[in-house]
Structure 1
Amino acid sequence: MNSYDSFSDDPASSEYADYDPRHYGFAGSPEIMPPSVRLARALSWFFAGLGGALIAVSIITGNPDLGGAIAFGYLSAWLLGGVACAFGMEGRTVQVVGVALAAVSGFLCLGLMAVGPLAGLTGLCLSFAIIVLLCKRESTTWFLRHRAAT
């Protein structure tokens, strides 16, 4: 045993032999947001910003009808951008709402492809990427973590 260890060579003989991390809510849970959740949050914000930018471009070019269609297609993307602000919170609800809003956004972007194929296809790809990232195991572990009561 070196001076930096508090454990002996035989872990069963140490004072922590009966320690079971499953009995403590926060042991083994991540403390830093995993890359998949950070990327899903960034893509959600980009998705919401893209909707606003596309509306601005359509109004500037003199096509307000297209702007209205884009506003309808990207409405749930704006809600998703708001929910992405809560990705740092614990709880499965935030993850489920994020996946549901991304799915609704993808569905609405399918309809938007008839009006503007670029806006619809981009939204569809972003929705799919957000769903995949939020459904990864490390993302689920992040949202199911428990914090110590202070």
Structure 2
Amino acid sequence: MKIMANKKIKGGDLMMFIGGKSIALATSHTLTISGETQDTSNKDEGGGKWAASEVSNLSWSGQSENLFSATGNAGMTYEALFDAMIKMEPVDMVFGLKKETTDNVGDTGWTATAGSATNTQYIGKAAITSLELNAPNGEYATFTVQFTGVGALTAKKA
């Protein structure tokens, strides 16, 4: 196996895509994978002095922080996410690198690259569990959307 140097990825290149579209005007994306533990402490191991546990259940969630826009469709807007949320159905989510190498988004938004040996995509279905719109005086309006995974999150390389 050929050894390759680690390559840093800038946050602006790693994005969250919902239904194949990037989330418009994103400033930050977060993907969290968590493990729920079960206590396995007993008197026979370690004399009962140390707590022990094992992971019994996995879950995942995502979050995106964004500037608010009332116009345009280059990516998923607050309005599009609102419509998806009130349908109360899971959405397809991909967390991965954007395909485009330009600095400015095109007319239809960013698109996700395909998974490859050097580019992993994290893919799953998620429920939109929170959509918060913030309009501070004298500043740009923002919104935050939160997702909870529905089933497994998979890593796709190729």
What TM-score results when the alignment is normalised by the length of structure 2?
0.25
Indicate the structure (1 or 2) with the bigger Cα radius of gyration.
Answer: 1
- Which protein, 1 or 2, shows the higher relative CO under an 8 Å CA cutoff with sep ≥ 6? 1
Q: Which structure features the higher share of helix residues? A: 1
Write 1 or 2 for the structure with the bigger share of strand: 2
